[in-house]
Amino acid sequence: MTTGRGWWLLLFVRSNCGNFFMKTRGAPASDLKPPLPLHPLVFVSDSGPVFDFEDLLRASAKVLGNGTFGRTYKSDMDNGITVVVKELKLVSLSEAEFKRHMELVQNIRHENIVELRAYIYSKDKKLMLYDHYNKGSVSSLLHGRTGKKRANLDWETRKRIALGVARGIAHIHTQRGAMLVHGNIKASNIFLDSQQYGCVSDFGLTNMISKTFIETTQYHAPEVKNTQNVSQASDVYNYGMLLLELLTRKSPKPFDIFMWVDSIKHRGCTAKVFDVDLLKNPAIEDQMVKMLQIGIMCVARAPDKRPKMSAVLKTIEDISKMNIWEKPELFFDDLNCGFELEDLLKSSAMLLGRGTFGTSYKVTSYDDDVVVKIMKLPNFAHKELWQRIELIRKLSHENIVKLKDYSCSKNEQFLVYDYDKLGSISRLLYRPHGT
């Protein structure tokens, strides 16, 4: 919806009742003789094209959408400059507190974090101004805008989106003594730069709004839905949801995308998870499977079982560097696979038996039990072992036990299968009478 010229002027003019936001729209600026606003534009960045407060007042505006933190507008100025203006709601900070938040946002700079250009503070209105990304959000590219078709997003672009976002989040997590979080990572807050890398917007907004007003969505981690406390672990969960959305081209909004992906994965039909447009190129399947595994690890139900963003970034970078015909030698290095080998020695693990190729344990992992086989294969070259396990992983038949996961680092190798409560045929035939 385009509101016409003079609209920004109406946003700042005091009415006789003392309100800043007037419902009248479209009146020409020349018909109005307002007093100057009490709180003009405050620039926090010297990059980008130059404009002033008068340019903004004369600009036309178009509503882009309503989000968690307020309504967002696209503002087109007479001098050809376009900015995005976010009108914040539910923010009740003093001017000094608001300024401190703006300084924090200003100081966290990175090429994959959308930069704050300026802000306006008044008692009734708080606005934040950003550069406009003309390609739109990742959400609109994946799912289409109203009246428009979905964009053609190839695998290379989706990898760049995932990599850029991972870099942005990882940078946030290292700042201020590794105490900062984003709190609202989702596809509608991700934009593409000129090289198609994902850039994270809305950083710093979560801390300005009372927890009681935060609306949780399918993007949010289970603990956030219960307590509304965001953390770096919940950022990782959000990122995992974004990866699943990039891979499947399904929005988490209408249903639980993770439960859907997990159900298909457990049936051994991993290919059915992916967007059909991606499946047209079979050469990229291995990369997509690796990305899917990262996404699933990121959305682990328990926060302490999710990998650190730095580890996720390293793995995404490794995948991004791969030639489509190249297979990675390491995947689970530095990532938390739901449990560590040392966990097998704790009470949650039960020894099942020792065999020719290694020792098997029953391990409780989240909601189900799995069998973990720690292998002893000293004579295998690491790359050869990885290639053989990949071959096993791709086998799919109703009478062959499906390989669920694996670790193939140089220091440890183990396979993960679903646990069958009935046990082996040997156990059924020869178990002691009465057991």
Token pair in block for residue 187: 């596809």
Residue type, 187: A
Round to whole Å and give the CA distance between 412 and 192: 39
Q: What is the DSSP letter of 2?
A: B
- CB 370 within 8 Å of CB 418: yes
Q: What are the strands, taking DSSP E only, across 310-423? A: 349-354, 358-365, 368-375, 403-408, 413-418
Token pair in block for residue 135: 């390609």
Phi, psi angle pair for 306, to nearest 5°:
-85, 145
Round to whole Å and give the CA distance between 23 and 26: 10
- Pairing mode, if any, of strands 349-354 and 190-192? unpaired
Phi, psi angle pair for 40, to nearest 5°:
-75, -175
Round to whole Å and give the CA distance between 85 and 129: 5
> Is 86 annotated as a binding-site member?
yes
Sign of the alpha-carbon torsion through 103, 109, 113, 115: positive
- Pairing mode, if any, of strands 60-67 and 198-200? unpaired
- CB 114 within 8 Å of CB 200: yes
With 0-12 / 13-18 / 19 or more C-beta atoms within 10 angstroms meaning exposed / middle / buried, residue 207 is middle
Round to whole Å and give the CA distance between 417 and 259: 19
Q: Which DSSP string do the residues of 407-424 spell out, in sequence order?
A: EE-SS-EEEEEEPPTT--
Token pair in block for residue 280: 């047209």
Residue with tokens 């539910």: 90
344 Cβ partners below 8 Å, 6+ apart? 361, 363, 372, 374
Q: Which helix (H) or strand (E) holds 61?
A: strand 60-67
- Going by the annotation, the residues of the binding site for ATP are 86
- Going by the annotation, the residues of the binding site are 86
